[in-house]
Amino acid sequence: MTTAQDLFAQGSHAFAEDDYEEALNLYSQAIEVNGTHVEIFLKRSATYQKLGKDQEAYQDAVHALELIKEKPSSEATVEAKAQLRKGVAAFHLQDYETAKVALEACQALSPEQRTLASWIRKNEQELAKLPKAAVVTAAAPATVAAAAPAADVTPVVSAVATPASTPVPATLTPTTHRVRHEWYQNDTYVTISVFIKNVKKDAVEIIFTDKALSVSVKMPTGSDYSLELDPLSHQVIPSESKYEVLSTKIEIQLKKEVFAIKWGALEGDDVNAGSMAAVSASAASAYPTSSKKPKNWDALAKEAANDEDKADGDKALNQLFSQIYKDADDDTKRAMMKSFTESNGTCLSTNWDEVGKGTVETRPPEGMIAKKYSS
Query: Given a cut of 50, is residue 153 above it in pLDDT?
Result: no
What's the Cα-to-Cα distance from 184 to each of 63, 224, 251, 263, 279, rounded to whole Å? 36, 25, 11, 9, 20
> Over 317-368, what HEC string results?
HHHHHHHHHHHCCHHHHHHHHHHHHHCCCCCCCCCHHHHCCCCCCCCCCCCC
Q: In a 3-state reduction of DSSP, which class is residue 194?
A: strand
Contacts of 127 (CB under 8 A, 6+ apart): 96, 97, 100, 135
Q: Tell me the mean pLDDT in the region 50-64.
A: 93
pLDDT of res. 358? 84
The pLDDT confidence band at residue 83, using thresholds 50, 70 and 90, is very high
The pLDDT confidence band at residue 278, using thresholds 50, 70 and 90, is very low
d(CA 343, CA 254): 41
Query: Given a cut of 80, is residue 216 above it in pLDDT?
Result: yes
Instruction: Identify whether the C-beta of residue 362 lies closer than 8 Å to the C-beta of residue 370.
Output: yes
The pLDDT confidence band at residue 47, using thresholds 50, 70 and 90, is very high
Contacts of 276 (CB under 8 A, 6+ apart): 261, 262, 264, 270, 284
Q: Tell me the mean pLDDT in the region 306-314.
A: 54
Query: Given a cut of 70, is residue 370 above it in pLDDT?
Result: no
Query: Given a cut of 90, is residue 27 above it in pLDDT?
Result: yes
Q: Which residue has the higher pLDDT, 321 or 294?
A: 321
Percent of the chain with pLDDT over 90: 35
Q: Tell me the mean pLDDT in the region 93-118.
A: 90
Q: Which residue has the higher pLDDT, 178 or 350?
A: 350
Strands 204-209, 212-218: pairing kind: antiparallel
pLDDT of res. 290? 52
Query: Given a cut of 90, is residue 256 above it in pLDDT?
Result: yes
Residue pLDDT, tens place only, 222-248:
778 888 888 888 999 999 999 999 999
Instruction: Identify whether the C-beta of residue 239 lies closer than 8 Å to the C-beta of residue 210.
Output: no
Q: Is 217 left (phi over 0), alpha (psi -120 to 50) or beta?
A: beta
Q: Tell me the mean pLDDT in the region 268-290.
A: 51
Least confident of 145-154, 177-186, 280-289: 145-154
Phi, psi torsion values for 288, nearest 5 degrees: -75, 145
Number of alpha carbons in the 13 Å side-chain half-sphere of residue 188 = 4
Instruction: Identify whether the C-beta of residue 370 lies closer than 8 Å to the C-beta of residue 353.
Output: no
Query: Given a cut of 50, is residue 52 above it in pLDDT?
Result: yes
d(CA 375, CA 373): 7
Query: Largest Cα–Cα distance in the chain?
Result: 91
Strands 189-194, 250-255: pairing kind: antiparallel
Least Cα distance to 89 among 25, 42, 140, 157 occurs for: 42
Q: Tell me the mean pLDDT in the region 185-205.
A: 92
Give the rounded distance of the alpha carbon of 75 from its chain centre. 28
Query: Given a cut of 80, is residue 188 above it in pLDDT?
Result: yes
Query: Given a cut of 70, is residue 329 above it in pLDDT?
Result: yes
Query: Given a cut of 60, is residue 345 above it in pLDDT?
Result: yes
Least confident of 91-100, 153-162, 295-304: 153-162
Mean pLDDT for the chain?
77
Query: Given a cut of 50, is residue 155 above it in pLDDT?
Result: no
